[in-house]
Amino acid sequence: MKDLTIAIALRIMLIVSFCLLMFSVLYNTGANQNSSHLYYQAFMLLSFLLIYFHQRKHIKKNGGRIAFHGHIIPEFNPQDEREHQISGEAYKIAFSTILVISFLVIGGVAFFQLFDSILQPLLLSLSIGFIPISGLLAYFFAYRHYYKK
C-alpha cells in the first residue's frame, strides 16, 4: 500500500507540474513574457526523475539485457488472484470516474468565457489536469477500500 501511495502521489505531482507549465506558457505570451516557466520546467524534470528512481526497482535483468517494466500503477504480486480482482474493480471505478468527470469538464469549459482573460488559462490548465488526477484518486481509494475488506 505504501508503494501505491508513493506512485500515485508522484503521478499527481507530475500532472500538477504539467498544468503549471501549461498555465505559464498560455499566460506568458506577448507582452507578459517572463521566465517563470523555467521554474515549472525544473519542477516537471524533478517529478520525472523521482518517478524514474521510484520505478527503478522494477528493472529486471533477463539474459544479459535489461527490461524496464514501467507501470503507471505498480503491480504487486502477479500470482495473487485477490489482488487481480481488487485491481480490476479499482480500474473499473477509476474508468467510470474519468468518463463522468470528462463530460463535466467539457461542459465547464464552455463557461470559461465568462471569466476574466487572466483566469482563463489557469482554469483551462486545471480542468485538463483534473481529469487524470480524479482517475488516480478514484483508483487509490477504491483499491484501498477493497484491500481492507
**Ranges of H-type helices in the chain:** 2-27, 37-54, 81-109, 119-148
Say whether pTM exceeds 0.85: no
The pLDDT of residue 118 is above 90: no
Is pLDDT of 43 > 80? no
CA-atom Rg of the chain in angstroms: 19
Quick one: which of 9, 18, 16, 52 has its CA closest to 140?
A: 9
Q: Percent of the chain beyond pLDDT 90?
A: 10
The answer, yes or no, to whether residue 96 has pLDDT greater than 90, is: yes
Q: What is the tens place of the pLDDT at every residue in 7-29?
A: 778 788 888 888 777 777 766 65
Confidence of residue 86 (pLDDT cuts 50, 70, 90): confident
CA distance 24 to 56: 31
